[in-house]
Chain A
């Protein structure tokens, strides 16, 4: 329990640190932040526009006041308004976030369901044909950037074979079948990196456990092969895998931005990319904060799972 409380406190602290760093970035850039945001290439921006933006972002007030206000608004989930259309950032995110989450969830599920059994089987028959084929596939998948895989999937399955739609989105309520059909390819693309990493990690971890003394003890007890595998090999091998899974989520979240773009999936990446191009600072900050918070949350869950799996963590 103490461990859980401690871990929760650390996560809250980290969210505050992340928020502070994000707040600071604008002010760490040399020069007037408003000018920086409005400048394109070498031309200096219109001074009226600069003054207007400065007022809009509250840049004319003392830094500490801005910071306090920023944090205060954050506790109310008020992320400010878009510079482009004045639409509240939080509302835009609330609309888009569930779609992104769905994609992440589907991708993670596919990755874990495919990678874990494959890895265990490959480790048990290390050096065999299956192991070599699976390991080679993982290596190739790892080297294939998500947007390349996504683009190639479209080229092959949508463009040439015409088996799948090239992308898009239909709400679940409107047409569930079409919804999941459209989800499939992006989810596979999201899953690919994670699957490759989890496969390699789990395979190494199972191999490592197989050579441990306690597995020899389990065999010396006369346990059946199946029981040795379940209770003494796979169970223990999952411990390092959860850590890797948590850390990989950062890459996964980044990859999701690219996948959504490739497949026209209207998640967070659409407003994010539009905002980056349009230098819509509040929108970018809002999305970065929400996604980073999500990342920290996932890692919190992973850490708690880790503690459940490994009694040495929570009880010492």
Chain B
């Protein structure tokens, strides 16, 4: 909104001055006075007189009236007609749709100025011709924008909801559809006005627009060109006025567009991940850990101050073992993985902690060293296999690229190896599939390609971030089996990030439960699931519909990263919370396990 203020005020003042021209007491803009031809300054004429001795300031202000009048009128006509056509076309489809959209397409086949010149030839120059031409020129823009917006709005559930309630069509169009497309239409309107000013001035400059002696910026530039040597300033004034007007209109368009887009942005999930914490209590365990994370804290800068989506998280992964990090949306599990991988977006930063991989602290390595580890010793598989593959390259090439990023092999050898990898992850007919593009494969197959890419360089640690969330349950079963099989065969350690407790139970040995950026419980899957110590783990397990017991929801909502509760972050939703829970609890050792709850002993 703030960004709208400046350009908005600028445009508003230009429009106001233009509207007020008759009451500003300016000299008559068309009265000639040849004796003061090209006078640089006269009392009452601060900007001087032009080649016919007319007052320049007055002509600039009256010129604004001509330009803006033509522009606004034509944009308004095009806007009303075009929006109506687009609305009808998008909603009723069928013949109306075909006709309106095609008419728009035909107009778009002509370069704008050429179409304008054709009409001027027939009708002769003048303001009304200009308005007609410009209305036709900007009609398609409105038709297309409205049409596309109505189509996409029509697919929204909230429109179907009103339809399902039996609302009459005009009510749906006016109350639900129109308010939701008003933003883009408004942007289109401002774009049309700005573009119309440009075309109007261009045609007037060619002497084919506004008819002299009516003042117009285009005409003034045309006139001043002839006397450019004696009086260059008279050329500069209208140029400046015109450019400034268009510039402020363009700025307003941009700001409007951003403001309209923000609505869409606000509806998208605001943050990809949440945070979790684990204190630095580390029971030394037999075989040396492959990855050891301690006190990992990530900060994200937001306009309202930094937030910590991951706080003091610690865990270890051993070779051949699967560690599951489980938590609900916003718990910080994905950001934890992304931080370990060194793929945090620029706004997010690791502010504390270590991540020791085979003895080296990943967080302390130079970028080039980390790059060599990524896709080499540590690989990652992501949630959405469609967006995670590049749509414009063949999948075989994308796998081969991973090979060649880490090993000196020929392109042909890498391609052959890619085919072998595709076969290994269970893709039938791998030679043919290697030449396919991602959109030609099913979701399950794409995820297999992602896995093939990840295991290309025999990683010792595989991080799988919700690898099956986007897939159907029978496809998920296949992918989980594949991951288990690869782990057995290669002995790699796996970090599995998931929100599904069932998946954890079936695939992992160790589990880290995260809530609101912190680790609340850690231990072996068998122990944690059989005897959960933390009330959150307990409630989460009780919420899973399974067996005879009625699933129990957890009251309340997950807190947001910018407003964590002061003490125990789960306390507001916890049925065991006491006054003492208002102090932050520490992660305590509970036998082989860790738990962050001051009452775990009494509750056990």
- Chain A residues with CB under 8 A of B402: 221-223
Q: Interface with B: A88-96, A109-117, A289-297, which one?
A: A289-297
Asked whether A75 is an interface residue with its Cβ less than 8 Å from the other chain, the reply is no
- Asked if A315 meets B208 with Cβ closer than 8 Å, knowing A143-B243, A145-B198, A221-B402, the reply is no
When C-beta atoms are compared, the residue in chain A nearest to B222 turns out to be A147
Cβ B439 vs Cβ A312 within 8 A:
yes
Question: Which of chain B's residues have a CB closer than 8 A to the CB of A258?
Answer: 113, 202, 205-206
Binary contact track B94-122/A, C-beta < 8 Å → 1, others 0: 00000000000010111111110111111
A12 proximity list for chain B (CB < 8 A): none
Most chain B beta carbons < 10 A, residue from A211, A223, A254, A275:
A254
A4 within 8 A of B: no
Instruction: Report yes or no: A254 in contact with B112, Cβ–Cβ below 8 A.
Output: yes
Closest A residue by C-beta to B368: A224
Is A25's CB under 8 angstroms from B117's CB?
A: no
* Partner of B251 from A139, A148, A251 at Cβ < 8 Å: A139
Interface residues of A in 161-213 (CB under 8 A from B): 211-213
Given A273-B206, A277-B207, A295-B110, residue A236 in contact with residue B118 (CB < 8 A):
no
Which residues, 120 to 135 on B, are CB-close (under 8 Å) to A?
120-124
A213 in contact with B388 (CB, 8 Å): yes
Q: Is the CB of A288 within 8 A of B246?
A: no
B198 touches A312 (CB 8 A): no
Chain B nearest CB from A214 CB (Å) reads 4
User: Known: A221-B405, A258-B202, A284-B117. Contact between A292 and B111, CB under 8 A?
Assistant: yes
- Is A63's CB within 8 Å of the partner chain B? no
CB distance from B509 to the nearest CB of A (A): 24
Is B109 in contact with A292, judged by CB distance below 8 angstroms?
Answer: yes
Contact B250 A261 (CB under 8 A): no
Interface stretch among A13-21, A50-58, A66-74? A13-21
| A contacts with B: majority SS | helix
A288 to B588 alpha-carbon distance, docked (Å): 81
Verify B113–A254 contact, CB threshold 8 A. yes
Query: In the complex, which residue of chain B has the Cβ closest to the Cβ of A154?
Result: B228
Name the contact of A236 in the complex, choosing from B206, B243, B380, B392 (C-beta under 8 A): B392
Say whether, besides A140-B247, A276-B120, A291 and B114 are in contact (CB < 8 Å). Answer: yes
Partner of B450, one of A14, A143, A160, A217: A217
A22 pairs with B118, CB closer than 8 A: yes
Contact (Cβ within 8 A) B117 A220? no
Q: Closest residue of chain A to B248, judged by CB?
A: A143
B242 located at the interface, meaning its Cβ lies under 8 Å from any Cβ of chain A in the complex: yes
Taking a contact as CB atoms under 8 Å apart, the answer to whether A36 and B122 are in contact is yes
- The answer to whether B205 and A147 touch across the interface, beta carbons within 8 angstroms, is yes
B388 partner residues in chain A, CB cutoff 8 A: 213-214, 216-217
Assess A148 versus B239: contact at CB under 8 Å? Given A222-B372, A296-B109: yes
Cβ 8 A contact of A281, one of B111, B121, B236, B391: B121
Q: Which of A18, A25, A148, A218 has the most CB of B within 10 A?
A: A148
Which residues of chain A have C-beta atoms less than 8 A from B207's C-beta? 277
> Chain B residues near A36 (CB, 8 Å)?
122-123
**Contacts A214-B387, A257-B113, A284-B121; is A152 near B208 (CB within 8 Å)?**
no
B124 neighbours in A (Cβ, 8 Å)? 39-40, 279
B146 to chain A, nearest CB (A): 18
Q: A224-B405, A261-B206 are in contact. Are A291 and B389 (CB under 8 A)?
A: no
A313 CB to nearest B CB, Å:
10
B371 in contact with A222 (CB, 8 Å): yes
Contact across chains for B232 and A311 when beta carbons are under 8 A apart: no
Candidates B111, B119, B201, B440; contact of A253 at CB < 8 Å: B111
The answer for the CA separation of A231 and B392 in the assembled complex, in Å, is 9
The reply on A118 being an interface residue by CB < 8 A is no
Give min CB distance, B220 to chain A, whole Å. 11
B343 at the binding interface (Cβ < 8 Å): yes
Residues of B within 8 A of A310 (CB): 391-392
**A37 sits at the interface (CB 8 A):** yes
Contact of B382 among A22, A143, A154, A213 (CB under 8 A): A213
CB-based contact A148/B109 at 8 Å: no
Instruction: Tell me the B215-242 residues at the A interface (CB within 8 Å).
Output: 218, 221, 225, 228-229, 232, 235-236, 239, 242
Most chain A C-beta atoms within 10 Å of own C-beta, residue among B110, B243, B389: B110
Q: Does A155 contact B (CB under 8 A)?
A: yes
Q: Is the CB of B109 within 8 A of A155?
A: no
Q: Is the CB of B202 within 8 A of A145?
A: yes
- The interface residues of chain B lying within 8 Å CB-to-CB of A223 are 371, 375, 401-402, 405
Size bracket, chain A contacts: 35 or more
Distance of A201 from chain B, by nearest CB (Å): 13
Q: Is there an interface contact between B118 and A284, defined as CB atoms closer than 8 Å?
A: yes
B486 shortest CB reach to chain A, Å? 17
Does B341 make an interface contact (CB < 8 A)? yes
Contacts of B593 in A (CB 8 A): none
The answer to whether A139 and B375 touch across the interface, beta carbons within 8 angstroms, is: no
Task: Check B379–A250 contact: CB distance below 8 A.
Answer: no
- Check A219 against B405 for contact (C-beta < 8 Å): no
CB contacts (< 8 Å) of A309 on chain B: these are: 392
Closest to A221 in B: B375
Interface residue? B376 (CB, 8 A): yes
**Interface residue from B106, B235, B374 paired with A220 (Cβ < 8 Å):** B374
Q: What distance in Å separates the Cβ of B6 from its nearest Cβ neighbour in chain A?
A: 13
Q: Which residues of B contact A25 (CB under 8 A)?
A: 118-119, 122
How far, in angstroms, from A187 to B504 measured CA to CA in the complex?
A: 65
Known: A151-B239, A231-B393. A29 touches B123 (CB 8 A): yes
In the bound assembly, the distance between CA atoms of A211 and B265 in angstroms comes to: 14
Contact across chains for A276 and B229 when beta carbons are under 8 A apart: no
**Chain B residues in 8 Å Cβ range of A17:** 106, 109
Question: Which of the residues A213, A222, A273 comes within 8 Å of B375, measured between beta carbons?
Answer: A222
Q: Does B374 contact A219, Cβ atoms closer than 8 Å?
A: yes
Contacts of A147 in B (CB 8 A): 201-202, 205, 218, 221
**A145-B246, A148-B221, A148-B243 known; A311+B405 contact, CB < 8 A:** no
Check B564 for interface membership: any CB of A closer than 8 A. no
Checking A144, A159, A211, A275 against B232 with a beta-carbon cut-off of 8 angstroms, the contacting residue is A159
Does A239 sit within 8 A of B, measured CB to CB? yes
B405 neighbours in A (Cβ, 8 Å): 221-224, 227
Instruction: Please give the distance in Å from A127's CB to the nearest CB on chain B.
Output: 10
The CA-CA distance from A291 to B111 in the complex, in Å, is 8
Q: Name the residue of chain B whose CB is nearest to the CB of A258.
A: B202
Q: Which of B159-209 contact A (CB under 8 A)?
A: 198-199, 201-202, 205-208
In the bound complex, how far is the Cα of B254 from the Cα of A139, in angstroms? Answer: 10
Using Cβ atoms and an 8 Å threshold, which residues of chain A touch B114? 253-254, 257, 287-288, 291-292
| In the complex, chain B residues 343-387 whose Cβ is within 8 Å of any chain A Cβ | 343, 345, 371-376, 379-380, 382, 384, 387
Distance of A67 from chain B, by nearest CB (Å): 17
Task: Decide if A220 touches B118 in the complex (CB within 8 Å).
Answer: no
A38: shortest Cβ distance to chain B, in Å?
11
Is A285 an interface residue when CB atoms closer than 8 A count as contact? yes
Query: Is A159 a contact of B122 with CB atoms below 8 Å?
Result: no
Query: Is A26's CB within 8 Å of the partner chain B?
Result: yes
Confirm or deny: B529 has a beta carbon within 8 angstroms of a beta carbon on chain A. Answer: no
The answer to whether the Cβ of B437 comes within 8 Å of any Cβ in the partner chain is yes
Contact of A151 among B221, B229, B251 (CB under 8 A): B221
Q: Can you give 18 A-B contacts (C-beta < 8 A)? A: A18-B110, A26-B122, A142-B250, A213-B387, A222-B375, A223-B405, A236-B390, A254-B114, A254-B199, A254-B202, A257-B114, A258-B113, A258-B206, A275-B121, A280-B121, A295-B109, A312-B439, A316-B439
Extra contacts, 19 of them, besides A143-B250, A147-B218, A279-B121 (Cβ < 8 A), are A17-B106, A18-B109, A39-B124, A143-B244, A144-B243, A144-B246, A145-B242, A148-B239, A155-B228, A216-B343, A217-B388, A222-B371, A250-B108, A258-B206, A281-B122, A288-B110, A295-B109, A311-B391, A315-B437
Listed in ascending order, the chain B residues whose CB lies under 8 Å from chain A are 106, 108-115, 117-124, 198-199, 201-202, 205-208, 218, 221, 225, 228-229, 232, 235-236, 239, 242-244, 246-247, 249-251, 254, 341, 343, 345, 371-376, 379-380, 382, 384, 387-394, 401-402, 405-406, 437, 439-440, 450, 453-454
